[in-house]
Amino acid sequence: MGLISPDYGTIFWMVLAFSVVFFILRKYAWGPIMKMLKEREQSIENALQSAEMAREEMARLKGSHEEMMHEARMEREKLMEEARRIKEQMIDRARDEASQETVKLLEQARRHIESEKLQAVSEIRDQVASLSVEIAEKILRKQLKDRKEQESLIKDQLHDLKLN
Amino acid sequence: MSRRILSFGFLVAALLTAGHLFGSAPKEQHDSADGKKTKFEPGKFILDHVMDSYEWHIMTAGKTHVSIPLPVILYTKEKGLDVFFSSRFHHGHETWKGYRIAGEGEDNEGKIVLTDRKGAEGSGTVRPIDLSITKTVTAMLVSMIFILLIFLPVARKYLKNSTRAPSGLQSLLEPVILFVRDDIAKPSIGDKRYEKFMPFLLTVFFFILFNNLLGVIPIPPGGANVTGNVAITGILALATFIITTFSTDRKYWIHIFNAPGVPWWLKFPIPLMPFIELLGVFIKPLVLCIRLFANMLAGHFIALSFIVLIFIFGQLSWIAGYGSSVISITFYIFMLFLELLVCFIQAYVFTLLSAIYFGMAKEEHH
Protein backbone atom coordinates (compact mmCIF):
# COMPACT_ATOMS: atom_id res chain seq x y z
CA MET A 1 0.00 0.00 0.00
CA GLY A 2 1.57 3.20 -1.17
CA LEU A 3 -0.07 5.24 1.52
CA ILE A 4 1.83 3.89 4.49
CA SER A 5 5.10 2.89 2.83
CA PRO A 6 7.44 5.84 2.82
CA ASP A 7 9.01 6.65 -0.51
CA TYR A 8 12.77 7.06 -0.34
CA GLY A 9 12.72 9.90 -2.89
CA THR A 10 10.45 11.89 -0.58
CA ILE A 11 12.65 10.98 2.39
CA PHE A 12 15.75 12.13 0.50
CA TRP A 13 14.28 15.52 -0.39
CA MET A 14 12.70 15.94 3.00
CA VAL A 15 15.97 15.29 4.83
CA LEU A 16 17.85 17.59 2.48
CA ALA A 17 15.34 20.45 2.49
CA PHE A 18 14.49 20.19 6.14
CA SER A 19 18.10 20.25 7.27
CA VAL A 20 18.98 23.12 4.93
CA VAL A 21 15.99 25.14 6.08
CA PHE A 22 16.62 24.19 9.69
CA PHE A 23 20.22 25.40 9.57
CA ILE A 24 19.36 28.57 7.67
CA LEU A 25 16.57 29.39 10.08
CA ARG A 26 18.68 28.53 13.09
CA LYS A 27 21.46 30.85 12.01
CA TYR A 28 19.50 33.68 10.42
CA ALA A 29 16.07 33.57 12.02
CA TRP A 30 15.66 31.73 15.31
CA GLY A 31 19.02 32.80 16.67
CA PRO A 32 18.48 36.54 16.20
CA ILE A 33 14.78 36.32 17.09
CA MET A 34 15.33 34.48 20.34
CA LYS A 35 18.26 36.70 21.23
CA MET A 36 16.35 39.89 20.49
CA LEU A 37 13.25 38.68 22.32
CA LYS A 38 15.40 37.97 25.31
CA GLU A 39 17.14 41.31 25.02
CA ARG A 40 13.86 43.13 24.71
CA GLU A 41 12.44 41.29 27.70
CA GLN A 42 15.60 42.14 29.59
CA SER A 43 15.33 45.81 28.64
CA ILE A 44 11.66 45.89 29.63
CA GLU A 45 12.58 44.19 32.89
CA ASN A 46 15.33 46.74 33.44
CA ALA A 47 13.03 49.62 32.61
CA LEU A 48 10.44 48.32 35.05
CA GLN A 49 13.08 47.84 37.68
CA SER A 50 14.49 51.32 37.25
CA ALA A 51 10.97 52.74 37.32
CA GLU A 52 10.38 50.89 40.55
CA MET A 53 13.64 52.20 41.90
CA ALA A 54 12.79 55.74 40.84
CA ARG A 55 9.44 55.41 42.55
CA GLU A 56 11.08 54.17 45.71
CA GLU A 57 13.57 57.00 45.52
CA MET A 58 10.72 59.44 45.07
CA ALA A 59 8.91 57.98 48.04
CA ARG A 60 12.09 58.18 50.06
CA LEU A 61 12.68 61.77 48.99
CA LYS A 62 9.11 62.64 49.77
CA GLY A 63 9.49 61.00 53.13
CA SER A 64 12.64 62.89 53.91
CA HIS A 65 11.07 66.05 52.59
CA GLU A 66 8.13 65.56 54.90
CA GLU A 67 10.49 64.81 57.72
CA MET A 68 12.36 67.97 56.98
CA MET A 69 9.14 69.91 56.86
CA HIS A 70 8.12 68.37 60.10
CA GLU A 71 11.46 69.20 61.65
CA ALA A 72 11.24 72.74 60.40
CA ARG A 73 7.77 73.04 61.83
CA MET A 74 8.99 71.64 65.11
CA GLU A 75 11.90 74.05 65.07
CA ARG A 76 9.59 76.95 64.42
CA GLU A 77 7.32 75.79 67.20
CA LYS A 78 10.28 75.55 69.50
CA LEU A 79 11.51 78.97 68.52
CA MET A 80 8.07 80.45 69.00
CA GLU A 81 7.81 78.77 72.35
CA GLU A 82 11.23 80.08 73.28
CA ALA A 83 10.30 83.57 72.16
CA ARG A 84 7.09 83.43 74.09
CA ARG A 85 8.94 82.20 77.12
CA ILE A 86 11.54 84.93 76.81
CA LYS A 87 8.84 87.50 76.33
CA GLU A 88 7.02 86.34 79.40
CA GLN A 89 10.24 86.19 81.29
CA MET A 90 11.04 89.69 80.22
CA ILE A 91 7.60 90.90 81.15
CA ASP A 92 7.85 89.13 84.46
CA ARG A 93 11.22 90.56 85.16
CA ALA A 94 10.06 94.00 84.14
CA ARG A 95 7.08 93.63 86.36
CA ASP A 96 9.28 92.43 89.20
CA GLU A 97 11.69 95.20 88.69
CA ALA A 98 8.90 97.72 88.51
CA SER A 99 7.30 96.46 91.66
CA GLN A 100 10.68 96.38 93.40
CA GLU A 101 11.27 99.90 92.25
CA THR A 102 7.90 100.90 93.54
CA VAL A 103 8.56 99.26 96.85
CA LYS A 104 11.88 101.00 96.99
CA LEU A 105 10.34 104.27 96.06
CA LEU A 106 7.61 103.79 98.55
CA GLU A 107 10.16 102.86 101.16
CA GLN A 108 12.17 105.87 100.29
CA ALA A 109 9.10 108.02 100.38
CA ARG A 110 8.11 106.50 103.64
CA ARG A 111 11.55 107.07 105.08
CA HIS A 112 11.50 110.57 103.73
CA ILE A 113 8.13 111.14 105.25
CA GLU A 114 9.37 109.60 108.46
CA SER A 115 12.35 111.87 108.61
CA GLU A 116 10.23 114.83 107.62
CA LYS A 117 7.81 113.84 110.29
CA LEU A 118 10.60 113.54 112.84
CA GLN A 119 11.95 116.84 111.77
CA ALA A 120 8.50 118.33 111.97
CA VAL A 121 7.92 116.75 115.34
CA SER A 122 11.23 118.05 116.65
CA GLU A 123 10.44 121.43 115.21
CA ILE A 124 7.06 121.32 116.81
CA ARG A 125 8.70 120.19 119.99
CA ASP A 126 11.12 123.13 119.82
CA GLN A 127 8.31 125.45 119.05
CA VAL A 128 6.26 123.98 121.83
CA ALA A 129 9.28 124.28 124.12
CA SER A 130 9.94 127.90 123.27
CA LEU A 131 6.23 128.56 123.43
CA SER A 132 5.96 126.92 126.78
CA VAL A 133 9.04 128.77 127.94
CA GLU A 134 7.44 131.94 126.74
CA ILE A 135 4.21 130.99 128.39
CA ALA A 136 6.08 130.00 131.49
CA GLU A 137 7.94 133.27 131.42
CA LYS A 138 4.71 135.04 131.09
CA ILE A 139 3.17 133.05 133.85
CA LEU A 140 6.23 133.40 135.94
CA ARG A 141 6.37 137.02 135.32
CA LYS A 142 2.83 137.32 136.46
CA GLN A 143 3.23 135.03 139.43
CA LEU A 144 6.54 136.48 140.61
CA LYS A 145 5.21 139.81 141.33
CA ASP A 146 5.44 139.10 144.98
CA ARG A 147 8.54 137.95 146.67
CA LYS A 148 7.20 135.10 148.60
CA GLU A 149 5.96 133.41 145.76
CA GLN A 150 9.26 133.81 144.02
CA GLU A 151 11.08 132.19 146.74
CA SER A 152 8.75 129.27 147.15
CA LEU A 153 9.04 128.64 143.52
CA ILE A 154 12.75 128.68 143.55
CA LYS A 155 12.65 126.33 146.38
CA ASP A 156 10.42 123.97 144.62
CA GLN A 157 12.56 124.17 141.59
CA LEU A 158 15.60 123.52 143.49
CA HIS A 159 13.92 120.68 145.21
CA ASP A 160 13.05 119.18 141.91
CA LEU A 161 16.51 119.68 140.57
CA LYS A 162 17.94 117.95 143.51
CA LEU A 163 15.75 115.02 142.94
CA ASN A 164 16.79 114.85 139.36
CA MET B 1 -18.87 41.43 12.48
CA SER B 2 -20.25 37.91 12.61
CA ARG B 3 -21.88 38.49 9.23
CA ARG B 4 -18.56 39.45 7.78
CA ILE B 5 -16.94 36.34 9.17
CA LEU B 6 -19.77 34.23 7.83
CA SER B 7 -19.57 35.70 4.34
CA PHE B 8 -15.81 35.33 4.38
CA GLY B 9 -16.22 31.72 5.40
CA PHE B 10 -18.57 31.10 2.47
CA LEU B 11 -16.17 32.76 0.09
CA VAL B 12 -13.30 30.59 1.30
CA ALA B 13 -15.45 27.51 1.15
CA ALA B 14 -16.61 28.36 -2.33
CA LEU B 15 -13.03 28.78 -3.52
CA LEU B 16 -11.98 25.58 -1.85
CA THR B 17 -14.81 23.53 -3.27
CA ALA B 18 -14.31 25.07 -6.66
CA GLY B 19 -10.76 23.79 -6.67
CA HIS B 20 -11.81 20.30 -5.77
CA LEU B 21 -14.65 20.30 -8.24
CA PHE B 22 -12.48 21.45 -11.13
CA GLY B 23 -9.93 18.90 -10.15
CA SER B 24 -12.32 16.02 -10.16
CA ALA B 25 -15.60 16.42 -11.95
CA PRO B 26 -14.45 16.05 -15.54
CA LYS B 27 -12.19 13.13 -14.74
CA GLU B 28 -15.12 10.80 -14.96
CA GLN B 29 -16.08 12.22 -18.36
CA HIS B 30 -12.60 11.71 -19.59
CA ASP B 31 -12.58 8.09 -18.54
CA SER B 32 -15.78 7.40 -20.37
CA ALA B 33 -14.56 9.31 -23.39
CA ASP B 34 -11.54 7.06 -23.41
CA GLY B 35 -13.90 4.28 -24.22
CA LYS B 36 -13.05 2.29 -21.10
CA LYS B 37 -16.45 3.10 -19.66
CA THR B 38 -15.12 2.98 -16.16
CA LYS B 39 -17.48 3.66 -13.33
CA PHE B 40 -16.69 6.44 -10.93
CA GLU B 41 -14.67 4.88 -8.14
CA PRO B 42 -14.84 7.00 -4.97
CA GLY B 43 -12.00 5.17 -3.21
CA LYS B 44 -9.62 5.55 -6.12
CA PHE B 45 -10.63 9.17 -6.57
CA ILE B 46 -9.81 10.02 -2.96
CA LEU B 47 -6.57 8.06 -2.97
CA ASP B 48 -5.45 9.79 -6.16
CA HIS B 49 -5.90 13.07 -4.40
CA VAL B 50 -3.95 12.23 -1.28
CA MET B 51 -1.25 10.11 -2.88
CA ASP B 52 2.00 11.37 -4.22
CA SER B 53 2.34 11.74 -8.00
CA TYR B 54 4.84 12.83 -10.61
CA GLU B 55 2.71 15.70 -11.84
CA TRP B 56 0.55 18.22 -10.09
CA HIS B 57 -2.93 17.70 -11.40
CA ILE B 58 -5.00 20.87 -11.28
CA MET B 59 -8.05 20.15 -13.42
CA THR B 60 -9.31 18.26 -16.40
CA ALA B 61 -11.51 19.99 -18.95
CA GLY B 62 -12.96 17.65 -21.50
CA LYS B 63 -10.03 15.59 -22.72
CA THR B 64 -7.32 18.02 -21.67
CA HIS B 65 -5.59 17.45 -18.43
CA VAL B 66 -4.27 20.60 -16.86
CA SER B 67 -1.40 19.79 -14.60
CA ILE B 68 1.92 21.22 -13.58
CA PRO B 69 4.77 19.05 -14.90
CA LEU B 70 7.35 18.30 -12.25
CA PRO B 71 10.97 17.27 -12.72
CA VAL B 72 11.69 13.56 -12.77
CA ILE B 73 15.17 12.55 -11.64
CA LEU B 74 16.15 8.95 -12.28
CA TYR B 75 19.34 7.00 -12.07
CA THR B 76 20.29 3.51 -13.21
CA LYS B 77 23.70 1.98 -13.55
CA GLU B 78 23.19 1.25 -17.23
CA LYS B 79 21.52 4.46 -18.35
CA GLY B 80 23.07 6.89 -15.91
CA LEU B 81 21.29 10.00 -14.76
CA ASP B 82 18.06 10.96 -16.49
CA VAL B 83 16.33 14.25 -15.76
CA PHE B 84 13.16 15.27 -17.59
CA PHE B 85 9.72 16.69 -16.95
CA SER B 86 6.87 14.40 -16.01
CA SER B 87 4.87 15.80 -18.93
CA ARG B 88 6.82 13.35 -21.12
CA PHE B 89 4.65 10.56 -19.77
CA HIS B 90 1.48 12.31 -20.90
CA HIS B 91 -0.25 11.60 -17.62
CA GLY B 92 0.98 8.06 -17.50
CA HIS B 93 -0.18 7.06 -20.98
CA GLU B 94 3.19 6.95 -22.72
CA THR B 95 6.69 5.70 -22.12
CA TRP B 96 9.79 7.86 -22.29
CA LYS B 97 13.40 6.77 -22.63
CA GLY B 98 12.52 3.30 -21.44
CA TYR B 99 10.61 4.48 -18.40
CA ARG B 100 6.92 4.27 -17.72
CA ILE B 101 4.59 4.73 -14.80
CA ALA B 102 3.39 1.42 -13.47
CA GLY B 103 -0.33 1.05 -13.92
CA GLU B 104 -3.11 -0.27 -11.79
CA GLY B 105 -2.64 -3.69 -10.28
CA GLU B 106 1.07 -3.80 -11.06
CA ASP B 107 3.96 -3.83 -8.62
CA ASN B 108 5.08 -0.34 -7.63
CA GLU B 109 1.77 1.07 -8.78
CA GLY B 110 2.03 4.72 -9.72
CA LYS B 111 5.82 4.70 -9.58
CA ILE B 112 8.24 5.02 -12.48
CA VAL B 113 9.52 1.64 -13.58
CA LEU B 114 11.81 0.40 -16.31
CA THR B 115 10.01 -0.87 -19.40
CA ASP B 116 12.67 -3.32 -20.46
CA ARG B 117 13.09 -5.22 -17.25
CA LYS B 118 11.07 -7.59 -15.24
CA GLY B 119 11.32 -8.50 -11.57
CA ALA B 120 13.31 -11.39 -10.21
CA GLU B 121 10.78 -14.09 -11.09
CA GLY B 122 10.08 -12.79 -14.55
CA SER B 123 7.13 -10.82 -13.36
CA GLY B 124 6.61 -7.50 -11.65
CA THR B 125 8.55 -4.36 -12.25
CA VAL B 126 11.91 -2.85 -11.44
CA ARG B 127 12.34 0.74 -10.29
CA PRO B 128 15.30 2.91 -11.10
CA ILE B 129 16.76 5.04 -8.33
CA ASP B 130 14.04 7.65 -8.21
CA LEU B 131 14.72 11.06 -6.69
CA SER B 132 11.99 12.87 -8.57
CA ILE B 133 10.57 16.12 -7.32
CA THR B 134 7.07 14.77 -6.84
CA LYS B 135 3.94 16.62 -5.86
CA THR B 136 4.59 16.11 -2.15
CA VAL B 137 8.23 17.18 -2.49
CA THR B 138 7.24 20.25 -4.49
CA ALA B 139 4.62 21.29 -1.96
CA MET B 140 7.10 20.68 0.84
CA LEU B 141 9.77 22.77 -0.90
CA VAL B 142 7.26 25.53 -1.59
CA SER B 143 6.29 25.61 2.06
CA MET B 144 9.96 25.77 3.00
CA ILE B 145 10.41 28.74 0.67
CA PHE B 146 7.36 30.36 2.26
CA ILE B 147 8.84 29.82 5.69
CA LEU B 148 12.17 31.32 4.63
CA LEU B 149 10.48 34.25 2.92
CA ILE B 150 8.47 34.98 6.02
CA PHE B 151 10.96 34.40 8.79
CA LEU B 152 14.14 35.85 7.35
CA PRO B 153 12.68 39.37 6.92
CA VAL B 154 11.05 39.09 10.33
CA ALA B 155 14.40 38.17 11.86
CA ARG B 156 15.98 41.15 10.11
CA LYS B 157 13.27 43.34 11.61
CA TYR B 158 14.11 42.00 15.03
CA LEU B 159 17.75 42.90 14.51
CA LYS B 160 16.85 46.37 13.30
CA ASN B 161 14.62 47.41 16.17
CA SER B 162 15.22 44.97 18.92
CA THR B 163 13.92 46.91 21.87
CA ARG B 164 10.91 48.42 20.17
CA ALA B 165 7.44 46.91 19.99
CA PRO B 166 6.92 44.45 17.12
CA SER B 167 5.17 45.65 13.97
CA GLY B 168 3.63 44.13 10.85
CA LEU B 169 4.30 40.46 10.23
CA GLN B 170 6.52 40.46 13.26
CA SER B 171 3.60 41.16 15.57
CA LEU B 172 1.61 38.34 13.96
CA LEU B 173 4.35 35.80 14.49
CA GLU B 174 5.74 36.95 17.78
CA PRO B 175 2.85 35.61 19.90
CA VAL B 176 3.23 32.24 18.15
CA ILE B 177 6.99 32.19 18.73
CA LEU B 178 6.44 33.20 22.35
CA PHE B 179 3.77 30.51 22.64
CA VAL B 180 6.22 27.87 21.45
CA ARG B 181 8.84 29.20 23.83
CA ASP B 182 6.78 29.90 26.95
CA ASP B 183 4.03 27.32 26.73
CA ILE B 184 5.75 24.44 24.97
CA ALA B 185 9.50 24.55 25.48
CA LYS B 186 9.92 26.13 28.92
CA PRO B 187 7.45 24.01 30.90
CA SER B 188 8.41 20.72 29.22
CA ILE B 189 12.18 21.09 29.02
CA GLY B 190 12.99 23.43 31.86
CA ASP B 191 14.22 26.99 32.11
CA LYS B 192 17.88 26.14 31.85
CA ARG B 193 18.06 23.82 28.87
CA TYR B 194 15.18 24.91 26.65
CA GLU B 195 17.18 27.37 24.54
CA LYS B 196 19.21 24.62 22.89
CA PHE B 197 16.04 23.02 21.50
CA MET B 198 14.24 26.19 20.43
CA PRO B 199 15.46 26.25 16.80
CA PHE B 200 14.29 22.69 16.20
CA LEU B 201 10.97 23.14 17.99
CA LEU B 202 10.23 26.37 16.12
CA THR B 203 11.22 24.91 12.76
CA VAL B 204 9.08 21.82 13.32
CA PHE B 205 6.14 23.82 14.59
CA PHE B 206 6.07 26.21 11.68
CA PHE B 207 6.89 23.52 9.14
CA ILE B 208 3.94 21.41 10.24
CA LEU B 209 1.66 24.41 10.61
CA PHE B 210 2.48 25.81 7.17
CA ASN B 211 2.12 22.47 5.45
CA ASN B 212 -1.10 21.69 7.28
CA LEU B 213 -2.58 25.03 6.28
CA LEU B 214 -1.35 24.77 2.71
CA GLY B 215 -2.93 21.33 2.56
CA VAL B 216 -6.33 22.85 3.24
CA ILE B 217 -6.08 25.24 0.30
CA PRO B 218 -7.06 23.21 -2.79
CA ILE B 219 -5.26 25.28 -5.43
CA PRO B 220 -1.52 24.86 -6.02
CA PRO B 221 0.81 25.36 -4.26
CA GLY B 222 -1.65 24.20 -1.65
CA GLY B 223 -3.76 21.11 -1.58
CA ALA B 224 -0.93 18.63 -1.52
CA ASN B 225 -0.92 16.11 1.25
CA VAL B 226 2.49 16.83 2.77
CA THR B 227 1.95 16.28 6.47
CA GLY B 228 -0.28 13.34 5.56
CA ASN B 229 2.68 11.65 3.94
CA VAL B 230 4.30 9.06 6.14
CA ALA B 231 7.79 9.81 4.81
CA ILE B 232 7.58 13.46 5.83
CA THR B 233 6.21 12.84 9.32
CA GLY B 234 8.63 9.94 9.68
CA ILE B 235 11.61 12.21 9.10
CA LEU B 236 10.25 14.75 11.56
CA ALA B 237 9.77 12.05 14.18
CA LEU B 238 13.20 10.63 13.41
CA ALA B 239 14.74 14.05 13.99
CA THR B 240 12.97 14.22 17.37
CA PHE B 241 14.23 10.71 18.16
CA ILE B 242 17.82 11.54 17.21
CA ILE B 243 17.86 14.77 19.21
CA THR B 244 16.27 13.02 22.20
CA THR B 245 18.78 10.18 22.09
CA PHE B 246 21.76 12.50 21.76
CA SER B 247 20.73 14.66 24.70
CA THR B 248 20.16 11.82 27.16
CA ASP B 249 22.10 11.38 30.36
CA ARG B 250 22.89 8.33 32.50
CA LYS B 251 19.72 8.72 34.54
CA TYR B 252 17.55 8.34 31.43
CA TRP B 253 19.02 4.96 30.62
CA ILE B 254 18.92 3.86 34.24
CA HIS B 255 15.23 4.66 34.17
CA ILE B 256 14.81 2.48 31.14
CA PHE B 257 16.88 -0.55 32.15
CA ASN B 258 16.33 -0.40 35.87
CA ALA B 259 13.25 1.65 36.49
CA PRO B 260 13.03 2.65 40.12
CA GLY B 261 9.86 1.83 42.05
CA VAL B 262 9.13 -1.27 39.94
CA PRO B 263 8.94 -4.70 41.68
CA TRP B 264 12.10 -6.73 41.08
CA TRP B 265 10.24 -9.67 39.60
CA LEU B 266 9.28 -7.51 36.66
CA LYS B 267 12.96 -7.08 35.87
CA PHE B 268 14.37 -10.49 36.77
CA PRO B 269 14.61 -13.21 35.55
CA ILE B 270 12.52 -12.06 32.59
CA PRO B 271 13.39 -8.38 31.95
CA LEU B 272 9.82 -7.45 31.17
CA MET B 273 9.91 -3.81 32.24
CA PRO B 274 13.28 -2.98 30.66
CA PHE B 275 12.03 -4.55 27.46
CA ILE B 276 8.83 -2.51 27.50
CA GLU B 277 10.70 0.66 28.42
CA LEU B 278 13.23 0.11 25.64
CA LEU B 279 10.42 -0.49 23.21
CA GLY B 280 8.87 2.75 24.41
CA VAL B 281 11.97 4.64 23.30
CA PHE B 282 11.19 3.67 19.71
CA ILE B 283 7.44 3.68 19.99
CA LYS B 284 7.34 7.29 21.13
CA PRO B 285 8.70 8.77 17.87
CA LEU B 286 6.76 6.19 15.86
CA VAL B 287 3.53 7.31 17.47
CA LEU B 288 4.56 10.90 16.86
CA CYS B 289 4.97 10.11 13.18
CA ILE B 290 1.72 8.18 12.83
CA ARG B 291 -0.40 10.62 14.81
CA LEU B 292 0.42 13.55 12.54
CA PHE B 293 0.28 11.48 9.37
CA ALA B 294 -3.01 9.79 10.21
CA ASN B 295 -4.71 12.94 11.45
CA MET B 296 -3.87 14.96 8.40
CA LEU B 297 -4.66 12.12 6.03
CA ALA B 298 -7.98 11.51 7.74
CA GLY B 299 -8.81 15.20 7.42
CA HIS B 300 -8.18 15.05 3.68
CA PHE B 301 -10.17 11.83 3.42
CA ILE B 302 -13.23 13.22 5.15
CA ALA B 303 -13.18 16.50 3.26
CA LEU B 304 -12.86 14.65 -0.03
CA SER B 305 -15.52 12.14 0.93
CA PHE B 306 -18.11 14.89 1.10
CA ILE B 307 -17.12 15.97 -2.39
CA VAL B 308 -17.23 12.41 -3.63
CA LEU B 309 -20.76 12.04 -2.30
CA ILE B 310 -21.87 14.63 -4.85
CA PHE B 311 -20.57 12.51 -7.72
CA ILE B 312 -22.01 9.32 -6.33
CA PHE B 313 -25.41 10.96 -6.21
CA GLY B 314 -24.69 12.65 -9.49
CA GLN B 315 -24.37 9.25 -11.14
CA LEU B 316 -27.90 8.40 -10.09
CA SER B 317 -29.36 11.56 -11.54
CA TRP B 318 -28.29 15.11 -11.94
CA ILE B 319 -31.02 16.30 -9.59
CA ALA B 320 -29.70 14.08 -6.83
CA GLY B 321 -26.22 15.36 -7.58
CA TYR B 322 -27.15 19.01 -7.26
CA GLY B 323 -29.37 18.29 -4.29
CA SER B 324 -26.70 16.42 -2.39
CA SER B 325 -24.14 19.04 -3.23
CA VAL B 326 -25.89 21.51 -0.93
CA ILE B 327 -25.64 19.13 2.01
CA SER B 328 -22.19 17.95 1.07
CA ILE B 329 -20.77 21.41 0.75
CA THR B 330 -22.31 22.42 4.06
CA PHE B 331 -20.57 19.49 5.72
CA TYR B 332 -17.44 20.22 3.74
CA ILE B 333 -17.35 23.79 5.04
CA PHE B 334 -17.80 22.47 8.55
CA MET B 335 -14.99 19.98 7.99
CA LEU B 336 -12.68 22.67 6.67
CA PHE B 337 -13.15 24.76 9.78
CA LEU B 338 -12.50 21.67 11.83
CA GLU B 339 -9.42 21.05 9.71
CA LEU B 340 -8.14 24.55 10.40
CA LEU B 341 -8.36 23.75 14.08
CA VAL B 342 -6.69 20.40 13.55
CA CYS B 343 -3.85 22.13 11.64
CA PHE B 344 -2.95 24.12 14.72
CA ILE B 345 -3.59 21.33 17.18
CA GLN B 346 -1.42 18.84 15.30
CA ALA B 347 1.46 21.32 14.99
CA TYR B 348 1.08 22.05 18.70
CA VAL B 349 0.87 18.41 19.73
CA PHE B 350 3.88 17.34 17.69
CA THR B 351 6.00 20.19 19.04
CA LEU B 352 4.77 19.70 22.60
CA LEU B 353 5.48 15.97 22.60
CA SER B 354 8.92 16.54 21.05
CA ALA B 355 9.63 19.07 23.80
CA ILE B 356 8.43 16.64 26.47
CA TYR B 357 10.70 13.92 25.10
CA PHE B 358 13.64 16.34 25.12
CA GLY B 359 12.76 17.22 28.68
CA MET B 360 12.62 13.55 29.66
CA ALA B 361 16.01 12.87 28.09
CA LYS B 362 17.75 14.86 30.76
CA GLU B 363 15.86 15.79 33.87
CA GLU B 364 16.81 19.14 35.20
CA HIS B 365 18.49 18.85 38.56
CA HIS B 366 16.58 20.80 41.11
pLDDT at residue B2 greater than cutoff 80: no
Task: Note whether B195 contacts A34, CB cutoff 8 Å.
Answer: yes
Range of the domain at A36: 9-144
- Per-residue model confidence as pLDDT tens digits over A130-141: 888 888 888 777
Assess whether the previous peptide bond of B220 is cis (omega < 30° from 0).
Answer: no
- Per-residue model confidence as pLDDT tens digits over B43-80: 888 887 888 888 888 877 767 778 888 888 888 888 88
What pLDDT is recorded for position B7? 57
What pLDDT is recorded for position B35? 40
Residue A45 covered by a domain: yes
The residue that leads in pLDDT, B258 or B8, is B258
Residue A61 covered by a domain: yes
The residue that leads in pLDDT, B257 or B199, is B199
- What average pLDDT does chain B have? 81
Task: Note whether B158 contacts A2, CB cutoff 8 Å.
Answer: no
Residue A161 covered by a domain: no
Residue A153 covered by a domain: no
The band of A84, judged by pLDDT with boundaries at 50, 70 and 90, is very high
Instruction: State whether ipTM is beyond 0.90.
Output: no
Contact list, B133 vs chain A (CB under 8 Å):
13
Residue A15 covered by a domain: yes
Task: Note whether A32 contacts B155, CB cutoff 8 Å.
Answer: yes
Contact list, A5 vs chain B (CB under 8 Å):
230
The fraction of chain A above a pLDDT of 70, given in percent, is: 96
Amino acid (one-letter) located at A91: I
- Per-residue model confidence as pLDDT tens digits over B324-361: 888 888 888 888 899 899 999 999 999 999 999 999 88
- Per-residue model confidence as pLDDT tens digits over A7-62: 888 899 999 999 999 999 999 999 988 888 888 888 889 999 999 999 999 999 99
Task: Note whether A33 contacts B163, CB cutoff 8 Å.
Answer: no
Residue A152 covered by a domain: no
As a residue count, chain A comes to 164
pTM: 0.73
The fraction of chain A above a pLDDT of 90, given in percent, is: 40
Task: Note whether A9 contacts B130, CB cutoff 8 Å.
Answer: yes
Residue A129 covered by a domain: yes
Residue A72 covered by a domain: yes
The band of B4, judged by pLDDT with boundaries at 50, 70 and 90, is low
pLDDT mean over B166-176: 87
Q: Is the dihedral of CA A108, A110, A113, A119 positive or negative?
A: negative
Number of domain units in chain A: 1
Cβ within 8 Å of residue B165, ≥6 positions away: B171
- The residues on A that touch B, with CB distances below 8 Å, are 2-15, 17-18, 20-22, 24-26, 28-34, 36-37, 39-40, 43
